[in-house]
Amino acid sequence: MTNNKSWYIAKLFLLFMATLFSSCTVRRNDAMPLPMISVETLPLPPDYYDATMWYTQDGDPQGTGADIFYIVSTWEQDWMANDGRTCHYADVWNEKHRERMGREIKGVAAYMSDGNRFYAPYYRHTTIDGWMTQNEDIINSRTRLSMNDVFTAFDHFQQQRDKSRPLILAGFSQGGKAVVELLKHISDETYSQVAAAYVLGYKVTEADTASCRHIRPAQGADDTGVTICYNTVKHVRYIKPIIAKSCISINPVNWRTDNTPATLHDTITVTLSPKHHVLVVKGYSGSEYRPFRNFINVGDIHSCEPWLYSHCLQQNITVRARQWRKTNK
């Protein structure tokens, strides 16, 4: 009787473990391994053959510009699914979630798509709650699923596009992280098509540069195949390491990597700190970006990154795309 009881308990345990692993492990071919999830709900994955999963804008009827692949930042907080469990990811099939992501995407497209073809996928971005832990392990674990969505979207986009055109990668905040990870993901052949990669409001670490030869810091306004990275603060004491502790940077106003000040909109002084790899601004309060849960926009001006320098970015995309065409003629 004791042996039968022990065998029954062992059988139940094995059945439980098999059920847990089969239902909670999500894997996709040629993608990063995803975390085990047992106490949360995953939204359905995007279908990038469905036009609903994309925001596109063609501002290049002459066919002389670049293809821009843009990755949106973080818009959702943790939310409760219908099954009563917490979800740490945006739901791309939820119209409200897409609408919130679309606010940023449409604003960026308004200036980046001028003379270019603009593509932005909706993806299951990791909610702000994960980032607020300021714990690298938690963030890296949760964002694996988000980055896999971006990889899938990009691979689909790359299969469809005209590869004789220069490619621009750009993303803000979590989207900036996605640009860094995408540079690790792409092949050398795809990298040869990259005119520039813009990491707006996120960091590039020494580990990133050591592990990826596709990350080459920009040194000026017209070098190609390079990564542009910057973060904006009112003073270096306000650097948020989880977001902005970078090992590379450039001033997007004068395109210098030293501490030569640049003037923006006649009244704002933007100076790069080569030591801390951040932009220090004077004459600009950033008051339109209210602090969020004492995490961002508190001394840093994180939310300004795609907007404050929009004219500079618009012009620079054109310069680098033209230089790429000239070099690859």
CATH number at residue 315: 3.40.50
How much is the pLDDT for 39? 55
Q: How many domains does the chain have?
A: 1
Domain-embedded: residue 34: no
**Single-letter amino acid code for the residue at 208:** D
Domain-embedded: residue 163: yes
Q: Is the pLDDT of residue 34 over 60?
A: no
Domain-embedded: residue 238: no
Is 181 exposed, middle or buried (CB count within 10 Å of its CB: 0-12, 13-18, 19+)? buried
Q: What range defines the domain where residue 54 resides?
A: 39-232+309-327
Note whether 167 and 191 are within 8 A (CB).
Answer: no
Q: What is the pLDDT of residues 188-225, one digit of tens each?
A: 999 999 999 999 999 999 999 999 999 999 999 999 99
Longest dimension (CA), the chain: 87
Segment 270-286 mean pLDDT: 98
Q: Is the pLDDT of residue 29 over 60?
A: no
Q: Is the pLDDT of residue 309 over 80?
A: yes
Confidence of residue 329 (pLDDT cuts 50, 70, 90): confident
Q: What whole-number distance in Å separates Cα of residue 151 and Cα of residue 28?
A: 11
Segment 253-265 mean pLDDT: 98
Percentage of the chain modeled with pLDDT above 70 = 88
**Selection from 320, 131, 151 nearest residue 244 by Cα:** 131
Segment 5-29 mean pLDDT: 37
Q: What is the pLDDT of residues 123-157, one digit of tens each?
A: 999 999 999 999 999 999 999 999 999 999 999 99
- Token pair listed for 25: 């492990």
Q: Is the pLDDT of residue 265 over 80?
A: yes
How much is the pLDDT for 19? 36
Percentage of the chain modeled with pLDDT above 90 = 87
How much is the pLDDT for 290? 95
Domain-embedded: residue 286: no
Q: Is the pLDDT of residue 30 over 50?
A: no
Segment 273-294 mean pLDDT: 97
- Token pair listed for 278: 């951040």
Segment 314-323 mean pLDDT: 98
Report the alpha-carbon angle 201-318-114, nearest 5: 85
Domain-embedded: residue 272: no
Helix boundaries (H) for the chain: 2-24, 95-112, 128-132, 136-160, 174-185, 188-191, 206-211, 241-244, 305-308, 310-327
How much is the pLDDT for 24? 32
Domain-embedded: residue 126: yes
Confidence of residue 105 (pLDDT cuts 50, 70, 90): very high
How much is the pLDDT for 7? 41
Q: How confident is the prediction for the chain on average, in pLDDT?
A: 91
Domain-embedded: residue 205: yes
Q: What is the pLDDT of residues 233-251, one digit of tens each?
A: 999 999 999 999 999 999 9
Segment 179-183 mean pLDDT: 98
Confidence of residue 264 (pLDDT cuts 50, 70, 90): very high
Domain-embedded: residue 194: yes
